[in-house]
Every structure is written in structure tokens, then in C-alpha cells.
Amino acid sequence: MPVLRLPRIYVPTFCAIRIMHFGPRGRINIIKNFSGEMSEEAYGGVMRCLLCGSCEPECAAGIKITEAIRALKMHLAQTR
Ligand code: SF4
């Protein structure tokens, strides 16, 4: 059974709201599954990312999280 690593204290929006869409893992999953449409809940999770970069040093996969989220936020701002 895979171990779920929850965001720790360095993830400000997840700590405040406690919904996976508001943590880096949830946001990256939204980006991976994005096909042009997304729920209001997912949209809120992405758009409320502070782009603070606190999650990047903790990412074991070395994903440029803020770069990916910034790109999606720009796309959504232009198309939605
Ligand atoms: S960059 Fe976004 S996802 Fe990463 S810790 Fe900051 S608010 Fe959370």
C-alpha cells in the first residue's frame, strides 16, 4: 500500500485550509489531469497558490512546482 506523504508546515495554504487541492501535491495532480476543463474546487485550489516556493525544496521528484502552477494560472487567467 503506498504511503501518503501529507504536506507539512511549510505549505501555507494547505495548512490553512486542509484540502488536498490547496497543497502542492493536489495542485500538481490538477495540472497533470488538466484537459481544458476543471471544477470550481480545483480552480480555487490552483488560483489560491501563493507561488511562495516553500514546497519546492521538499519535492522528492524535483518538480518545479511554482513554474507549473504559474503557467496554469496564466493560462486560466487568459482563457477562463
Ligand atoms: S508555492 Fe503554492 S503550492 Fe507551493 S507551498 Fe507555496 S502556496 Fe503551497
Average pLDDT over residues 43-63: 92
Instruction: Read off the pLDDT band of 80 (50, 70, 90).
Output: confident
pLDDT tens digit sequence for 3-50: 555 555 567 877 777 777 788 999 999 999 999 999 999 999 999 999
Give the structural domain span for 36.
12-79
Residue 60 lies in a domain: yes
Tally the domains of the chain: 1
Residue 19 CA to residue 4 CA, distance in Å, equals 14
Atom nearest to 51 CA in ligand 1: 1
Query: Hey, whose CA ends up nearest to atom 2 of ligand 1?
Result: 49
Residue 19 confidence (pLDDT): 79
Which position has the grid cell 496554469? 72
Q: Which residue has the higher pLDDT, 67 or 20?
A: 67
For residue 73, give the 3-state DSSP assignment: helix
Residue 7 lies in a domain: no
Compute the distance between CA of residue 41 and CA of residue 80 in angstroms, rounded to an integer: 14
Residue 68 placed within a domain: yes
Atom of ligand 1 nearest to the CA of 66: 1
The region, left, alpha or beta by phi > 0 then psi within -120 to 50, assigned to residue 5 is beta
pLDDT at 76: 95
13 alpha carbon, distance to own chain's centre: 10
